[in-house]
Amino acid sequence: MIALGFGSGLSPKAPGTVGTLWAWLTFVLLDHGATDTHWFFLLVSGTLLGWWASKLTSEHLGVADSGHIVVDEILAFWLVLWVLGPATWVEQAVAFGLFRFFDAVKWGPTAWADRHFKGFGWRGAWGVMFDDFVAAGMTLLALAAIHRVTG
């Protein structure tokens, strides 16, 4: 349930995108009462829980990094939205598009993170999580560059 994003990862088409959309919706709902301290602890504890859930789910599915495991997209996109915030819907939509691009294309540092930690066990499960956090970092860098250019 955790690794599969409470069912969002079960989408037959584009489960990573559906998981990221679920992350966006839940962020908007959760953010109304959450402080920065809440988000920090949610992201840290969620990452540890997601790491464990990814390991277990990968072993049960027999697939090292199944596309149906979307807890990584959820936590990484929550991180993007938290750091970006407060943001307009347009800014959040741009963040969504950039994050999906960097996560799907696996370009540069994201590709390195994806290759470096492939496999089963704790190391492989960390890889499931880590490449999405790298994509989140690239998204935030791209957003900072856009902000710098556009003011």
Instruction: Answer for the pair 78, 67: CB distance below 8 angstroms, yes or no.
Output: no
Per-residue pLDDT tens digits for 126-143: 999 999 999 999 999 999
- Residue 103 is predicted with a pLDDT of 94
Domain that holds residue 137: 5-150
- For residue 101, pLDDT over 90 is answered with yes
Please give the full DSSP string across 66-124, using - where no structure is assigned: -TT--HHHHHHHHHHHHHH-S--HHHHHHHHHHHHHHHHH--THHHHHHHHT-SSHHHH
Q: What percent of the chain has pLDDT over 90?
A: 83
- Residue 149 is predicted with a pLDDT of 95
The amino acid at residue 79 is L
Q: Is 63 helix (H, G, I), strand (E, B) or coil?
A: coil
Q: What is the mean pLDDT of the chain?
A: 95
Per-residue pLDDT tens digits for 55-74: 999 999 999 889 999 999 99
What total number of domains does the chain contain? 1
Burial class of 48 by CB neighbour count within 10 A (0 to 12, 13 to 18, 19+): exposed
- Can you tell me the mean pLDDT for 92-121? 91
- For residue 116, pLDDT over 90 is answered with no
Whether omega for the bond prior to residue 109 falls within 30 degrees of 0, making it cis, is: no
- Residue 145 is predicted with a pLDDT of 97
Instruction: Answer for the pair 70, 132: CB distance below 8 angstroms, yes or no.
Output: no
Q: Nearest Cα to 15, choosing from 90, 61, 71?
A: 71
Per-residue pLDDT tens digits for 22-38: 999 999 999 988 999 99
**Has this prediction a pTM greater than 0.75?**
yes
